Amino acid sequence: MRRPRMVLFDYGHTLAWTPGEDYLRGEEAVFRYVAENPRGVTPQEAAQLGTAIWLGQREIRHSGAEVSTLQQLRLKYDVLGLRFTRPLEELEQVLWTAVSPGEAMPGAPEMLAAL
């Protein structure tokens, strides 16, 4: 058997999975850094819009294209009129850490060792 020269993986449900995802918890963590909220948007409203944006991209994802999380966050927070004290790139990490810290996918360490 020939050894591959390279193996590519995506994150979700390949190398890692995120049990107990809680997007409201993620938005609550991000909202700690809100500098401007002229419409009085709640974390619940932000989580609902984020879910709607994600579900609205289903056809795009199935075509093989992908909109990055950063682009989705920019769209969501711009639509809501939110401004933050931290850069959006940092808030993306805050969001995902709070949503679920993630765990190794069962069997992933063994599969990587075999490769």
Band (pLDDT 50/70/90 cuts) for residue 89 is very high
The CA distances from residue 9 to 14, 19, 44, 78, in Å, are 7, 19, 32, 31
Give the model confidence (pLDDT) of 3-50 as tens digits: 888 888 776 677 888 778 899 999 999 999 999 999 999 999 999 999
Which pLDDT does position 11 carry in this prediction? 67
Distance from chain centroid for Cα 94: 10
pLDDT, greater one: 94 or 7: 94
pLDDT, greater one: 92 or 102: 92
Band (pLDDT 50/70/90 cuts) for residue 90 is very high
pTM for this structure? 0.74
Judge whether residue 77 has pLDDT over 80.
yes
Q: What percent of the chain has pLDDT over 70?
A: 97
Which pLDDT does position 39 carry in this prediction? 97
35-61 b/e (C-beta count within 10 Å ≥ 16 → b): eeeeeebebeebbebbeebeeeeeeee
Distance separating alpha carbons of residues 105 and 109, to the nearest angstrom: 8
Judge whether residue 58 has pLDDT over 80.
no
